[in-house]
């Protein structure tokens, strides 16, 4: 279950802030990523390993969103970040 396993960053990115958003480059692979404010918050939080529940709770504190919507959108974001090789579960 996603809520039980912590995640961590799987790669180092060169980052530039633009307002409350982040543009990041993965030089080794030549990939560029644009993070909206929520994805930026999650990326910043993952400087240290965090569980789904820890990430969700931090977002609920930061944004005016209900828990069900936050959980659903965070799950989608983490799955996308994992598929792109940006994050990985901690073994």
For 9-44, how does the pLDDT look when each residue is reduced to its tens digit (9 = 90+)? 998 899 999 888 899 998 888 899 999 999 999 999
Q: Work out the end-to-end distance of the chain between its first and last CA atoms, rounded to an integer number of angstroms.
A: 14
Name the phi and psi angles at 61, rounded to 5: -70, -35
Determine the pLDDT at residue 16. 93
What mean pLDDT, rounded, does the chain reach?
92
- Helix (H) / strand (E) element for 50: namely strand 50-51
Which two three-digit tokens encode residue 83? 């598929």
Residue 2 has pLDDT above 70, yes or no: no
Whole-model pTM? 0.88
Residue pLDDT, tens place only, 56-78 = 999 999 999 999 999 999 999 99
**Burial class of residue 74 in the structure, from the number of CB atoms within 10 Å of its CB (0-12 exposed, 13-18 middle, 19+ buried):** buried
Determine the pLDDT at residue 46. 96
d(CA 1, CA 20): 31
């Amino acid at each position: 279950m996603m809520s039980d396993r912590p995640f961590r960053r799987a790669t180092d990115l060169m980052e530039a802030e633009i307002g409350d958003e982040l543009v990041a480059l993965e030089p080794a692979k030549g990939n560029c990523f644009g993070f909206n404010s929520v994805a930026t918050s999650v990326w910043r939080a993952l400087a240290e390993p965090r569980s789904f529940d820890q990430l969700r709770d931090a977002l609920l504190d930061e944004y005016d969103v209900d828990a069900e919507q936050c959980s659903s959108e965070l799950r989608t974001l983490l799955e996308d970040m994992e598929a792109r090789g940006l994050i990985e579960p901690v073994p």
